[in-house]
Amino acid sequence: MKPVENKFVDGMNWCERMAKRAFDIVASLIGLILLSPAMLYIALRLRIQGDGPVIFRQERIGREGRPFNILKFRTMPVGCEQDGIPQLIEKTDDRLTPVGQYLREHHLDELPQLWNVLVGDMSFVGPRPERKYFIDQIMQENSDYEYLYQIRPGITSMATIYNGYTDTMEKMLIRLQMDLEYLQKRSLGLDLNIIVTTVRLIAYGKKI
């Protein structure tokens, strides 16, 4: 990957980035331990449903443009993308299974991503990782996307909270602008605010 020009500068200094990574490791490990009973129950429900593997793996692009496999609980049957062409997921997608619909509404399908955070593929807060297929389309409209490769993608972000489901190219470009703003302004305090806001909205049943 060619070097990225310094157009969008990371708002965190070296010490803050180390502290952020330390928090990710500790919090994800605690989360995996405390939430293991719930994750086991979800896995059993999906196994009983029997429409494919319990864990869904999909290649996404992460820090420095490196691909990694994001982990989720399966919410759709195997082979639901026609002709293998990537499709955007909508809020009320008829491809969702009954259990999958519930998991998505309450964001429980994201729980396996605690492992992605623990191993360093992701962070709790950062731009949502995207597939190369859609990144290529975004970069045809705005090549600034490559500046996001400076940081780890995240489970939640300002765009996740305020832009909702990204099911159109217009929303993707809005999300990009919000993610670039986060890149420049990010701090430990902002990350904490985003995490607290996300937890509060999910706890109150708001669909984000």
**Residue 41 domain-assigned?**
yes
pLDDT of residue 87: 64
pLDDT digit string, tens, across residues 12-50: 999 999 999 999 999 999 999 999 999 999 999 999 987
Low-confidence stretches of the chain (pLDDT < 50) are 4
How high is the pLDDT of residue 20? 98
Q: Does any domain span residue 5?
A: no
pLDDT of residue 4: 47
Buried b or exposed e, range 142-174, using 16+ CB within 10 angstroms: eebbbbbbebbbbbbbbbbbebebbeeeeebeb
Residue 52, in any domain of the structure: yes
Number of domains the chain is built from: 1
Whether 3 is covered by a domain: the verdict is no
Tokens of 182: 């986060």
- Sign of the torsion angle spanned by Cα atoms 165, 62, 64, 150: positive
156 in Cβ contact with 194 (< 8 Å): yes
CA distance 71 to 158: 21
CA proximity to 192, closest of 16, 33, 13: 16
Within a domain: 42:
yes
Question: Does a structural domain hold residue 208?
Answer: no
Residue 8 lies in a domain: no
Q: Residue 138 and residue 37: Cα distance in Å, rounded?
A: 39
> Is 2 a domain residue?
no
Domain range spanning residue 152?
14-203
Structural tokens at position 204:
């109150």
Contacts of 156 (CB under 8 A, 6+ apart): 124, 125, 194, 195, 198
What's the pTM? 0.89
